[in-house]
Amino acid sequence: MSVLRPRNRLVNFRLSQQEYETVKAVYALRGARSVSDFARTAVLRSAGVAESSHGPAQSHLSNLEHKVAELESRVTTLLRLLNDGAES
């Protein structure tokens, strides 16, 4: 998403360490330049205001990437739970 207007508003939210690590592991896979870029795009997409200049094929690819990222996140969570259970 290109910057057409200056961004001068700040939105702040907190994540657990596990949530942050998951986001960090996924943002580059989704084509984001940073965690902030990834979070901004995700929020705008959820609000229905994300700009897409690449058409239906890019939208479909983005949807698939999102699903893969979600699966990766869930697998990571399951592996952590299994490792934590094995250590107990």
pTM score, two decimals? 0.51
Per-residue DSSP letter, 48: T
Q: Which comes out higher in pLDDT, residue 28 or 71?
A: 71
Please give the share of the chain, as a percent, with pLDDT higher than 70. Answer: 82
At residue 42, the pLDDT reads: 86
CA-angle at 14, arms to 21 and 44, nearest 5°: 90
Closest C-alpha to 73, from 42, 46, 40, 51: 42
Say if 45 falls within a structural domain.
Answer: yes
Q: Is residue 6 part of a domain?
A: no
Per the structure, the count of domains in the chain is 1
Residue 59 within a domain: yes
4 pLDDT higher than 80: no
If you ran DSSP here, which 8-state letter would residue 9 be given? -
5 inside domain: no
pLDDT single digits (tens) 47-84:
887 655 555 566 677 778 888 888 898 899 899 899 88
Query: Could you tell me if residue 40 is inside a domain?
Result: yes
pLDDT at 58: 63
